[in-house]
Amino acid sequence: MKTKEIKSVEPIGFQWKAKDPFLFCAHHNDHFPKGNGNYGPDRELLKGRQIGSDFSSKDGWSMYHGQKVPGFPVHPHRGFETITMVRKGFVDHTDSMNAAGRYGNGDVQWMTAGKGVQHAEMFPLLNQEEKNHLELFQIWLNLPAKSKLVTPYFNMFWDKLIPKYQHKDEQGKSTKIEVVAGAIGNAKAPTPPPDSWASNLSNEVAVWNIKMEPSAEFQLPKASKGINRVLYFYEGSNLQLNEYSLAGKHMADLDPEAFIKLKATDASAILILQGRPINEPVVQYGPFVMNTEQEIRETYQEYQQTQFGGWPWGLSEPDHGTKGRFAKYADGKVEEPE
């Protein structure tokens, strides 16, 4: 049902549709088994899967493109950004800039692929005594033409550095919002990468992960005219948007200038993606996002010739062994969160 406040509603699946400046969002929610001591599942559990391209969710988890460890072995990107929000579990990152990291349990990595980078994202099964639950969002944010070929870059937003806005309604029910981009109330997100569309505050880019108690109410603040705002209701049975009843596992395209009151029926989780549209042509070929077909052809040719600087790690799906959370940047700087 279309209303003034709600422009459209549709179901969400594994890969969520998005509106400019975002390209899409993937939600991974895998209940992996115990680790086998080499950061993967027992080989017996791999039977019946198409190893190398397993998106089956058999027994509640997938190997994706991993052969021995779940995840995404070395692959290239150009022309956009990835925002990887890990709610539970861990990701091992390596890239062609000789940078690396292990992050998870609330951490966020924001990577500008720019002119081209190869990276691997593996999901190590660190716990050998109990199951390994992984939940993450990977959001693709486009870059404007002027920034398509900037130098690759990544930021780590460690969990403790990401502001959490808290609201209690008149009945004392709680809404908590993790502010990864943008601001809400007195909670302002960490600074995005310098060449990101989000780095210009006038673009009003926001990434908010909202958790609501049963029966909690919260009113979304207004955004400016022309901003795209999409709400993804990914956990819960029913959510009231003013007078409209939104079923679970659905997305809603919202009027940014409208006051919209959210009311949860049961414990609910919601992701908001908003921003000013870039309003440029988008041509995507797998992991490359450019503005024209010619640019895509040039990108593919350049990748074949240069491999975007090559791959310094040897293995296609490297892990970081028994290390804790860390980030090693291209300049050699190493961070370890508290």
User: What pLDDT is stored for residue 14 in this prediction?
Assistant: 83
CA-CA distance, 295 to 293, in Å (whole number)? Answer: 5
C-alpha atoms less than 13 angstroms from C-alpha of 297 in its C-beta half-sphere? 3
Q: Write a three-state SS string for 265-295.
A: CCCEEEEEEEECCCCCCCEEECCEEECCHHH
Q: What is the pTM of this model?
A: 0.97
Quote the CA–CA distance of 177 and 271 in Å, as a whole number: 9
Q: Could you please report the per-residue DSSP string of 93-152?
A: EEETTS-EEEEESS-EEEEE-TT-EEEEEE-----SSS-EEEEEEEEEEE--GGGTTSPP
Spatial CB neighbours of 209, under 8 Å, sequence gap ≥ 6:
85, 87, 137, 177, 178, 180, 269, 270, 271
pLDDT digit string (tens) for the chain, length 338 residues: 567 899 999 999 889 999 999 999 999 999 999 999 999 999 999 999 999 999 999 999 999 999 999 999 999 999 999 999 999 999 999 999 999 999 999 999 999 999 999 999 999 999 999 999 999 999 999 999 999 999 999 999 999 999 999 999 999 999 999 999 999 999 999 999 999 999 999 999 999 999 999 999 999 999 999 999 999 999 999 999 999 999 999 999 999 999 999 999 999 999 999 999 999 999 999 999 999 999 999 999 999 999 999 999 999 999 999 999 999 999 999 999 98
